[in-house]
């Protein structure tokens, strides 16, 4: 590239275009705790309504401990069913919310 120097670093900046019109259902990674997201979620919530999905393997989940210990209660299928129940409970339909998660 004539007349310019190449850089070994990359930088990405983007300002939000404004408040998002669709809510976000946020699913943290397996065994990650809500306190791990205390700095991130308020920033995300500045531009959208955010629903944090506390999955059943986490201590903060409202799943009854007896149910949690039952065989088959900690599977990808069960996790998917829990998520589907939450989405229905919130009244969301296909295309009217964002689903976000760092390792899902």
DSSP state letters, 11-73: -------S--SS-EEE-PPTT--GGGGTTHHHHHHTSS-EEE---TTSTT--S-HHHHHSTTS
Per-residue pLDDT, averaged over 29-43, amounts to 80
As a whole-number percent, the residues of the chain with pLDDT over 90 amount to: 12
pLDDT at position 63:
63
Flag whether pLDDT at 48 surpasses 60. Answer: yes
Structure tokens at 30: 């397996």
Rg of the chain taking only CA atoms, in angstroms: 19
Flag whether pLDDT at 58 surpasses 70. Answer: no
């Amino acid at each position: 590239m004539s007349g310019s120097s190449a850089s070994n670093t990359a930088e990405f900046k983007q300002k939000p275009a404004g408040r998002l019109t669709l809510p976000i259902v946020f699913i943290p990674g397996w065994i990650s705790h809500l306190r791990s997201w205390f700095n991130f979620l308020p920033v995300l919530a500045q531009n959208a309504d955010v629903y944090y999905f506390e999955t059943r393997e986490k201590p903060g989940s409202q799943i009854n401990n007896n149910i949690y210990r039952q065989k088959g209660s900690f599977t990808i299928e069960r996790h998917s069913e829990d998520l589907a129940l939450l989405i229905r409970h919130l009244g969301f339909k296909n295309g009217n919310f964002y689903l976000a998660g760092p390792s899902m």
